[in-house]
Structure 1
Amino acid sequence: MADTFLKEQVRARSIGDWIALPVLIAVIFAAPFFPAVLTSVPNWAILPVSDWVGEGLNWLARDAGVGGVTFADVTRALAAAAEAPIDWLKIVLAEGWVTGAGFNKVQAAPPLSWLGVTLAVALVALRLSGRGLMLLTLVSGLYLALFGLWVLAMTTLASVLLCVVTALVLGLAIGIRAYRSPRTEAFVRAVMNVMQTVPIFSYLLPTLLLFGYGPSAALFATVVYALPPMVHATVLALRSVPQETLELARMTGCSRAQTLWKVELPVAVPRLAIGLNQVVMMTLNMVIIASMIGAGGLGYDVLRALRRLDFGAGFEAGMGIVALAVVLDRLTQAAAHNQSTQAVGLWRRRDTVLALALLIIFTLFSFVIPSLGLWPKDLTLTTAPFWNGAVSFINREFYDPLDAIRTAMLLKVMNPFRDLLLATPWTLIGLLVCFAGYALGGKRAALTVMALLLFIALTGYWEPAMVSVYLTTLAVAIALAIGLPFGIWVSSRPRFHQPVQLVLDTLQTLPTLVYLLPAVMLFRNGDFSALIAVVSYAVAPAVRYGMAGMKHVPSERVEAAAMSGCTPWQTFRFVRLPSAMPTLLLGVNQTVMMALSMLVIAALVGTRELGQEVYTSLTRGEVGPGIVAGLCVACIALIADTLLKSAAARAARHEGDIHA
């Protein structure tokens, strides 16, 4: 019965495809003769959504209230409440206790010693993971101290710790609620998917309006930005708990709350750690952008270096963020792994005493030996002149060939492709995308992409959206052309796996703004610099998924191909590649998402796409246009996500049918 139904469905889809395809071809040939209303979006069809959103948020921030208490009073009170833990963490980690003001300032107590913190964290790393992580922690701490980045790093760490804890608590609460209620889960998943694709800048606009300028406002923006991966990870982690484990908990008389806290969450810790790692990475990425609204720390140094085109200083501060990110990432992974494997005896009570002793003793000694508390400024190191000199040398000696590459790429590839997209009737692009959605995912996918395209068109952002599409498409094509073949090549060479993974981890933790610095230094502002930066940022997932796709090909299929006399190329073409295709398509999807997120940051170097619209709105304080332009970026991301996930699902079904 089920087979008959499936055959009827396939037959119906096939008939629909045969009917739709000739119609699509006829429309393509008729495109040059379209009337103006079908060529470009008419002004009368554009809805003032930006005005509606701006007026609504302004009303919410200024006039909305209940019982004499306005919404703005509540948000400002929350901002003031958030200031206290931020200030306390800064006192402990970065600034120390200071009394008096102006020339009468006196440091009553120093912050925690850089050497004590480094040794204490290294001890934790040693007990959790071993000597490798301990050495990495020591090198990271020494780098921050010797290069004069310790205070900035601790300021950043104070914000990161508070943001991560807040996002963790909120993400767990929302994820648990979504897990227990299918209706809530569908709504939460839709909201979180949109939140993950909205540009970073778009979060700053309502935050400024509602919470004002300062570290607390940056805290709220960062938590909202970093929340989705924790929610998704919580739902997936709780669903992964084996049913027999849950049945055993019920048989032993556990209540619902006891089952959650004593069974489900402990079993789900390894998967929850994945979400926690993503929260840490996204928080550290956001701290640079949040420095625009008062976050301070290393992020502000990177942003200031970008504005001054000081590549060396920006690189040093960016590597400071990488040092924090890598250490936090490895520590959380190690802790989760130990708990999931029920490892015991790794951490003892005396280790806690020793770690606290290291912190206290070296902090007290810093009263006598100040260099134990903070490394002396006159002994700090810097490589900024070297990096700036290297960039200057390259510009001086290789200006002509670099400019020739830039000019040729712009004139021969980028500008023609952009002009083609802008000249193509918007209705034809919409029809092509909808047909792709129907062919890959059926009516539901087609209707989804149609609704998203109409939102872009009817809000008046069609042309900037096409510029975003052109840059994203080129960047993704180049990143995939580099990343997938390299990942596939590395997958068959195990000795390269660990070094490549280390490089990929570093690339994915490097702040987005750092990618802009060398591109601008070498190729000046413009679309080509943005393209270079986006490709550099988006190539990592292409390599990672290329490796993962080949790794998960069943060995028995490869052995069967070898036994049947297939050559290595035939084995790759007809066995490995089809088996890896679902994973590779998910890698394409992730590459597109990374490219779009970086493209918005690239607005700082003078692009003219949706990211520039968002950034311009931020500088002007125009909330409505900034949010709507950000939602248009989200629409492009969701269209790509819908098409690529439908293609991956179709490839997986096809692969299953072949080997059924």
Structure 2
Amino acid sequence: MSTIDTVSPTGSGSLPAWVTSRWVQAALVVAVLLAGFALVKGQGSFPELPEALQVAPFLDRVYEWVVTHRNTSPLFLYGFNYLSVGLGSAVILINLVLTWLTWPGVVVAGVFTAWRVAGPRVAAFALLTFTTFGLLGLWTEAMTTLALLITSVLLALLVGIPLGVVAGRSDRFDRAIRPVLNFLQIMPAFAYLMPMLLLFGIGNPAAAVATTVYAFPPAVRITSLAIRGVDPGAVEAAVSLGSTRWQTLTKVQLPLARRTIMLGVNQVIMLAVSMVVIASVIGAGGLGDAIYQALNKVNVGRAFEAGLAIVFLAIALDRVTAAAGRERNVPGPDRTGRLPVVAAGVAATAAASVLARLLGVPDWPREWTLSIAGPVNALNAAVQDLVGGLTSALGTLTLDWVLDPLRAVLTDSPWWLVVLAAAALGAVLEGWRTAVVAGLSLLVIGVLGVWDLSMDTLSQVLVAALLTTVVGIAVGIAAARSTVLSRVLRPVLDAMQTLPPFVYLIPAVALFGIGRVPALAAAVIFALPPVIRLVENGIRGVSPAAVEAAVSQGSTRLQLLAKVQLPLARASLRLAVNQGIMMVLAMVVIGALVGAGALGYGVVFGLGQNLLGLGLTSGLAIVCLGVLLDRLTQGAARREG
């Protein structure tokens, strides 16, 4: 069919291609929203529901009932209270074990484990990590964090790996659990805090459950993938020899899937590190609480000390667990010689503990500590004197010309027009199902009574996501076309993806102070690594034959990129945008700890003032925004794929 048959110059026949373009249609939806804002400005707030239908007062009454009946209701007496006591006791027990070992015993045990699993280099880094805890005067806080981390990771693996095995061996169970895992992985970390506070109260039990629920989905997904990826020939051979299902699982599938399962363990640990730090908001204590208190006082130096300790802990755990999944990762004795080596390690740990107690130094000596908070604060002051005017001007410019106008459009436009615009975008990008989900997500936000806070959060997410996408795609393209740049970026991106999100707030506050701008800056930096990696991998994954064909036809580097590589890597680009937006949302919400306000502030203020209604409705609204943004971007990515 010729072009003239497809698009008639008189307008008859099929519509022009530009009219049917999804991006043109999406731009028209945005234009309608802006027009509505200009015409009916000031009618954005969702109408207040009658008192009997308001959600927040009802939730406040639920919280009052829970507080009153926590020690009398069978639901708590024989349910949540038992679980709370059990989890709290487990954390305390592990902490007591770490204390009983004394600091030399903990160091010897940790370094020996790192040496046996990952080799001398990682063992040296583990020694540096423990030394950092002690020298900075954060040994007690680090052991509190480590105890909570061990409890949460063990619980997540005890739940996640068996579920993953079942999902790997049952298609029906896999289909049933997949939506649950999708939903849990969409939820930002802050959204887990209020429900756990309601059920378990302030303290370690709530933090342990929140961390477990947040961290266990990768264990299920990756274990299921590992079981399904086992060579069918090996399974058939085992079955043909008369192996039972249990024998096939334990003797064939689990051993062959070990490397992949250990990747899941690594992911669980890294997610748990992130959540344990955030859980300081609900009384988890430890290193996260040290950062939280320091940021509240704008003490950049003290926050830097605690952040440095968390960074070292995260990197050490990442290196050890990553090495555990590699076969023959460390040269050493064979199976017959392992028992004496392990016995020697246990003996060395016991000897170090006994010696420390005999010498009267079970705790890290105070005289061996030093503080770098003063020099860091002095350096921060000097940097502020040097570039403070520039960062302040940049922050003001961002607020006055970007964030505030966008927030005004979302909050002052008629609420129904915003809902219809979201539904229209869903229909344009994916179809009617996404349109329904998008519209309902915003309607639920309105019913929850946090419309303005949600639109404030959405405005911050959109700005940060745009910056992340532009910078991430540009750097990803450059890395894909330059092997040298890719090699330079690889360790940097590895380190950035290891860091808990809490840590990114420290340099942002140092540069921009308190407010929405530092939260925006932290969100952009936090979300960049996966975007860069996905863009680079997508472009490098383009068929060499397609590239060679374009080059042979005389395409320039720019034409090759625009006409071949980017279109063929479209699925990876869409996925990069999706991942970037979801990580931006998670970080923007955490930015409430440094004055970003919006929904994150609702959660933090609700936690601090025992206002379950505000905290839980804000958390639910965060989930709704996550569902909205995920469906709008993931649906398009799936369609392109």
Q: What is the TM-score with the length of structure 1 in the denominator?
A: 0.85
The AA in structure 1 aligned to 2:640 is: A
Match of residue 91 from structure 2: 86
User: In terms of mean alpha carbon deviation, does 173-182 or 307-316 score higher?
Assistant: 173-182
The AA in structure 2 aligned to 1:48 is: Q
SS state at 2:474 partner: helix
Match of residue 356 from structure 2: 366
Pick from 71, 75, 83 the counterpart of residue 76 of structure 2: 71
Match of residue 54 from structure 2: 48
SS state at 1:50 partner: helix
Q: Deviations for 1:187-225, whole angstroms, at most 9, x for unmatched residues?
A: 433333333333434433233332233323322222122
1:352 is aligned to 2:357: no
CA–CA separation in structure 2 for the residues paired with 1:464 and 1:457: 10
1:454 is aligned to 2:463: no
Match of residue 197 from structure 1: 186
1:379 is aligned to 2:368: yes
Match of residue 407 from structure 1: 396
Q: Is the 8 A contact 1:280 1:328 kept in 2?
A: yes
Deviation at 1:495, TM superposition (A): 4.4
Q: When the two structures are aligned, how many residues end up with a matched partner?
A: 622
1:471-482 maps to which residues of 2 (within 5 A)?
471-482=460-471
Q: Is the 8 A contact 2:276 2:284 kept in 1?
A: yes
Structure 1 residues 90 and 62, CA gap change in structure 2 (3 angstroms): same
Q: Is the 8 A contact 1:45 1:458 kept in 2?
A: no
User: In terms of mean alpha carbon deviation, does 284-293 or 460-469 score higher?
Assistant: 284-293
Structure 1 residues 252 and 561, CA gap change in structure 2 (3 angstroms): farther
Q: Is the 8 A contact 2:194 2:619 kept in 1?
A: no
RMSD: 3.5
SS state at 2:137 partner: coil
1:394 is aligned to 2:400: no
1:504-519 maps to which residues of 2 (within 5 A)?
504-519=493-508
Q: Is the 8 A contact 2:37 2:412 kept in 1?
A: no
Q: Deviations for 1:77-119, whole angstroms, at most 9, x for unmatched residues?
A: 22222233322221221x33xxxxxxxxxxxxxx3443x5444
Q: Is the 8 A contact 1:456 1:635 kept in 2?
A: yes
Deviation at 1:589, TM superposition (A): 1.2
Pick from 638, 646, 659 the counterpart of residue 635 of structure 2: 646
Q: Is the 8 A contact 1:269 1:339 kept in 2?
A: no
User: In terms of mean alpha carbon deviation, does 380-389 or 341-350 score higher?
Assistant: 341-350
Match of residue 337 from structure 1: 326
Match of residue 148 from structure 2: 159
Q: Deviations for 1:136-175, whole angstroms, at most 9, x for unmatched residues?
A: 2232233223333333222211111111000111112333
SS state at 1:280 partner: helix
Match of residue 577 from structure 2: 588
CA–CA separation in structure 2 for the residues paired with 1:45 and 1:376: 61
Q: Deviations for 1:289-338, whole angstroms, at most 9, x for unmatched residues?
A: 32233322222211221122221221121121121211111211111122
SS state at 2:326 partner: helix
Work out the percentage of aligned pairs sharing the same amino acid. 34
Q: Deviations for 1:442-465, whole angstroms, at most 9, x for unmatched residues?
A: 222222222222222332222222
The AA in structure 2 aligned to 1:470 is: S
Match of residue 293 from structure 2: 304
User: In terms of mean alpha carbon deviation, does 420-429 or 460-469 score higher?
Assistant: 420-429
Q: Is the 8 A contact 2:116 2:330 kept in 1?
A: no
CA–CA separation in structure 1 for the residues paired with 2:377 and 2:286: 22
Match of residue 570 from structure 1: 559
Q: Is the 8 A contact 1:513 1:601 kept in 2?
A: yes
Structure 1 residues 272 and 400, CA gap change in structure 2 (3 angstroms): same
Q: Is the 8 A contact 2:391 2:512 kept in 1?
A: yes
Q: Is the 8 A contact 1:144 1:320 kept in 2?
A: yes
SS state at 2:357 partner: coil
CA–CA separation in structure 2 for the residues paired with 1:33 and 1:500: 45
Pick from 116, 119, 122 the counterpart of residue 130 of structure 1: 119
Match of residue 4 from structure 1: none
Deviation at 1:257, TM superposition (A): 2.8
The AA in structure 1 aligned to 2:48 is: N
Structure 1 residues 351 and 547, CA gap change in structure 2 (3 angstroms): farther
Deviation at 1:469, TM superposition (A): 1.1
Structure 1 residues 37 and 140, CA gap change in structure 2 (3 angstroms): closer
User: Any unmatched runs of 5+ in structure 2?
Assistant: 1-13
Structure 1 residues 521 and 634, CA gap change in structure 2 (3 angstroms): same
CA–CA separation in structure 2 for the residues paired with 1:504 and 1:456: 35
Pick from 615, 626, 635 the counterpart of residue 637 of structure 1: 626
Q: Deviations for 1:226-266, whole angstroms, at most 9, x for unmatched residues?
A: 22232333333333334444433332333333333333333
SS state at 2:522 partner: helix
CA–CA separation in structure 1 for the residues paired with 2:635 and 2:30: 23
The AA in structure 1 aligned to 2:339 is: R
Pick from 294, 304, 308 the counterpart of residue 315 of structure 1: 304
CA–CA separation in structure 2 for the residues paired with 1:633 and 1:321: 26
SS state at 2:306 partner: helix
The AA in structure 2 aligned to 1:49 is: V
Structure 1 residues 181 and 376, CA gap change in structure 2 (3 angstroms): same
Q: Is the 8 A contact 2:311 2:499 kept in 1?
A: yes
Structure 1 residues 437 and 510, CA gap change in structure 2 (3 angstroms): same
Q: Is the 8 A contact 1:197 1:637 kept in 2?
A: yes
CA–CA separation in structure 2 for the residues paired with 1:255 and 1:49: 53
The AA in structure 2 aligned to 1:364 is: V
CA–CA separation in structure 2 for the residues paired with 1:525 and 1:85: 37
CA–CA separation in structure 2 for the residues paired with 1:174 and 1:619: 36
Q: Is the 8 A contact 2:550 2:560 kept in 1?
A: yes
Structure 1 residues 122 and 26, CA gap change in structure 2 (3 angstroms): closer
Q: Is the 8 A contact 1:197 1:633 kept in 2?
A: no
User: In terms of mean alpha carbon deviation, does 615-624 or 503-512 score higher?
Assistant: 503-512
Q: Is the 8 A contact 1:112 1:359 kept in 2?
A: no
User: In terms of mean alpha carbon deviation, does 331-340 or 462-471 score higher?
Assistant: 331-340
CA–CA separation in structure 1 for the residues paired with 2:77 and 2:531: 44
CA–CA separation in structure 1 for the residues paired with 2:34 and 2:592: 36
Q: Is the 8 A contact 1:449 1:642 kept in 2?
A: yes
Match of residue 430 from structure 1: 419
User: In terms of mean alpha carbon deviation, does 595-604 or 547-556 score higher?
Assistant: 547-556
Structure 1 residues 524 and 28, CA gap change in structure 2 (3 angstroms): closer
Structure 1 residues 493 and 422, CA gap change in structure 2 (3 angstroms): same
Structure 1 residues 409 and 213, CA gap change in structure 2 (3 angstroms): closer
Structure 1 residues 339 and 178, CA gap change in structure 2 (3 angstroms): farther
1:172 is aligned to 2:161: yes
Q: Deviations for 1:9-60, whole angstroms, at most 9, x for unmatched residues?
A: xx99x9x969996996996697369889996533348952334445456556
CA–CA separation in structure 2 for the residues paired with 1:581 and 1:400: 41
CA–CA separation in structure 2 for the residues paired with 1:25 and 1:586: 22
User: Any unmatched runs of 5+ in structure 1?
Assistant: 1-10, 97-110, 653-660
Match of residue 104 from structure 1: none
Match of residue 528 from structure 1: 517
Match of residue 230 from structure 1: 219
Match of residue 143 from structure 1: 132
Deviation at 1:604, TM superposition (A): 1.8
Match of residue 534 from structure 2: 545
Q: What is the TM-score with the length of structure 2 in the denominator?
A: 0.87
Deviation at 1:595, TM superposition (A): 0.9
CA–CA separation in structure 2 for the residues paired with 1:331 and 1:121: 10
User: In terms of mean alpha carbon deviation, does 263-272 or 605-614 score higher?
Assistant: 263-272
Match of residue 489 from structure 1: 478
